A and B are shown apart, each in its own frame.
Chain A
């Protein structure tokens, strides 16, 4: 195993731990996006460019965006219910 491979594996381990340790959902989406970028790097280092390209689009952009959209939807919904209750 080369130094680069060892470093990138360590980075992915840190990134994964970071995602688990972030408790606030919208922040977690951003940390997960960063972790997706680290995974992309790992796939490149391990010579899997096909997988890296998919991971880049899906893991760092699409999935975090869906999480953020779903979160904003639930928050608006919650605010609306509170508003109705107080009327």
Chain B
């Protein structure tokens, strides 16, 4: 096809797509309008029903807890698959280049950077734990808190180096935490069955509105999710770093 013909086809296709998009946009509700009753009902009912202020948490970890269970296992499967892929290549490299690996000294970061990194790690860990624990009273929860917690390890890598990261992290423990965190969600659901309810029915005492201990089962699940997300991110980081640092040393 000549460029001229191609341009005509592209122009026609683009115009058609733009037309359809415009047509679709005309049918959208106006900006900020909310049509469905579900959100309004949950917003009105959840604080009195479950003693929580963060209704998002109530939906994710109580009313629709089964959906979030699936979501968590998608993450778990993704982390496991990525770790598996990265790891196989790692053993191949170790076999082929075992002889050429030398003890090279990487650049040492300055002490000021270390001190700054330490302060940042402390703040990040504190904020992450706060977010996991206060899932029912303020925005956040296990997923978000886990991401924040894991970024503490990223800070260690960025302001220290790979060796420091390996010194403060036990990979076997990280893997264990990943598995325990993921298992805790399903185990909580099964515990509710054992208590005489249905799977993931909140049977724990709800406490009082405004207390971080309100929300019953949501706290337990959030702690598990926080552990799983943190460990998952750290594991991926470690596997990626194994890949790059080994090739660096083997250069």
Chain A residues touching B, range:
20 to 34
- From residue B71, how far is it (CB to closest CB) to chain A in Å? 12
Cβ of A14 under 8 Å from chain B? no
Flag if B31 contacts A54 (CB, 8 Å): no
Residues of B contacting A53 in the complex (Cβ-Cβ under 8 angstroms): 131, 139-140, 144, 147-148
Q: Does A4 interact with chain B (Cβ within 8 Å)?
A: no
Which B residues touch A19, using CB under 8 A?
A: none
Asked if B151 contacts A62 (CB within 8 A), the reply is yes
Choose, from A20-28, A30-38, A69-77, the stretch at the interface. Answer: A69-77
| A-contact 0/1 string along B131-161, CB 8 Å cutoff | 1000000011101100110110010000000
Count residues of chain B with CB under 8 A from any CB of chain A: 25
| Contact B139–A69 (Cβ < 8 Å) | no
- Hey, which chain A residues are within 8 Å of B154, CB to CB? 61-62, 65
A interface, over-half SS: helix
Interface-centre pick from A56, A69, A70 (highest chain B CB count, 10 A): A69
Contacts of B131 in A (CB 8 A): 53
Bound-complex Cα distance A79 to B139 (A): 47
Contacts of B240 in A (CB 8 A): 66, 69-70, 73
Chain A proximity of B188: nearest CB distance (Å): 21
CB-CB nearest 6 A-B residue pairs = A57-B147, A49-B139, A53-B144, A69-B240, A76-B247, A50-B139
A-B contact pairs, 16 of them (CB 8 A): A1-B31, A49-B140, A50-B56, A50-B140, A53-B139, A54-B147, A57-B144, A62-B150, A69-B243, A70-B240, A73-B244, A73-B247, A76-B244, A76-B248, A80-B250, A80-B251
**Chain A interfacial positions (CB closer than 8 Å to B):** 1, 49-50, 53-54, 56-58, 61-62, 65-66, 69-70, 72-73, 76-77, 79-80
